[in-house]
Amino acid sequence: AVLLQAGAGPLLAAVAAVAVPAVLTRGLHLDGLADTADGLGSGKPAEDALRIMKRSDIGPFGVITLLLVLLGQVAAVSELYGEGPAHGAVALAVSGVAARLVLTVACRTGVPPARPDGLGA
């Protein structure tokens, strides 16, 4: 929203708005997304998919997933900023809160963990 007030267009403001959380978390969530995409996209059994997810490199499914997710986020935020700075700011705030709350839903009782020593265990 600050860039919009400074005269930048909605696309540049959207790129900055999507980049800030990635920079603040040092790409942690993007790395996890890429690892998940690589593991699930491998088509391997669960044990092999988990091994793929633990590797430090990024595979083709991870690259494609990151590209599509980031482009989608920028496109959505740009459209909202195009309607007005408040629309984009509210959407970013709501998405940030929702992203934090979804972890509690995923870790509820009844959802089996992928590994016995994992987050959901």
Considering the domain boundaries, does residue 114 fall inside one?
no
Considering the domain boundaries, does residue 85 fall inside one?
yes
Considering the domain boundaries, does residue 14 fall inside one?
yes
pLDDT in tens, 8-67: 789 999 999 999 999 999 988 899 999 999 998 988 888 888 889 888 889 999 999 999
Q: Give CA 21 to chain center in angstroms.
A: 9
Domain with 10 in it: 2-106
The predicted model scores a pTM of 0.78
What's the CA gap between 59 and 47, in Å, rounded?
17
What's the CA gap between 115 and 66, in Å, rounded?
24
Number of domains in the chain: 1
State the CB neighbour count (10 A cutoff) for residue 30: 18
